[in-house]
Amino acid sequence: MSANVTGTDLRARLAGVRENIEEARKRSGRAGEDVRVLVATKYYAPEQLSALAEAGVGLVGENRAEDLVEKQELFGDKFEWHFIGHLQRRKAKVVVPRVSLVHSVDSVRLIEEISNRAPVGGAEILVQVNVADEESKYGVSEGEVEELLEAAAKTEGKVLARGFMTLAPLVEDPEDVRPVFAKLRTIRDSLRESWSPHFDLSELSMGMSGDYEVAVEEGATVVRIGRMLIEEDGPVRRHDGS
């Protein structure tokens, strides 16, 4: 994080992100629905998380098990902790007890491992879907999603599927990835009724600093923001929705 960015700066920039989200909700007719801002802490050294707390950040996501441990040991319950990076099975024993949601579950074997490490009450997960079918990204195909839901169901409450996550391709124009977000919403909607009340599948974790407004318009319930808060220009308002 830039040494010039203070907690006051972060608070103002976070307010700008939330204003943009509110405008995106209005444009899409989602006024009144909750959209949570998750701050990706891979951009912050452990000692810099105090500025996030000062800025009023409540939800953070970490990408690496080792960084999660280091930062959580320092800041504990100042934040709600999610895991947003690729989770190796051997790291599940470290990660699962420390977070309230794992965003990146992409195999039956990982679900089985999470089940073995789940705390009392179960471990909540999102199924990561590789909607754009990019070889460089993790996640299952649309056709494999139900296999993972069935595996979670077999754990008898130890693994609770809350919804889905995707990583969109990096593009210049956020409109180019709108179909990716729309597709994930369609996948969720097509499964939601058949899996209720077993899993509510209410969550859609999609959209990052460059495309989060489009993601909100397409139904995101969690957006993952990182570099935008620490760049010199901060968030840019998009009054015309373009």
Domain extent listing, the chain: 7-229
Retrieve residue 42's tokens.
Answer: 């891979």
Contacts of residue 91, Cβ cutoff 8 Å, sequence gap at least 6: 65
Q: Decide yes or no: CATH 3.10.20.70 for domain 7-229.
A: no
Torsion (CA) 171, 25, 21, 23 in degrees, nearest 10: 100
d(CA 111, CA 184): 20
At 4, is the pLDDT very low, low, confident or very high (cuts 50, 70, 90)? low
Mean pLDDT of 114-136: 95
- In whole angstroms, how far apart are CA 135 and each of 140, 145, 213, 239? 11, 17, 25, 35
pTM of the model: 0.93
Cβ–Cβ < 8 Å for 100, 130: no
Q: What is the average pLDDT value for the chain, to the nearest integer? A: 91
Nearest to 142 by CA among 186, 175, 198: 186
In percent, how much of the chain has pLDDT > 90?
80
At 71, is the pLDDT very low, low, confident or very high (cuts 50, 70, 90)? very high
**pLDDT computed for residue 235 by the predictor:** 53
**pLDDT computed for residue 178 by the predictor:** 97
d(CA 126, CA 174): 23
Is pLDDT of 75 > 60? yes
Q: DSSP label at 226?
A: -
Mean pLDDT of 43-63: 91
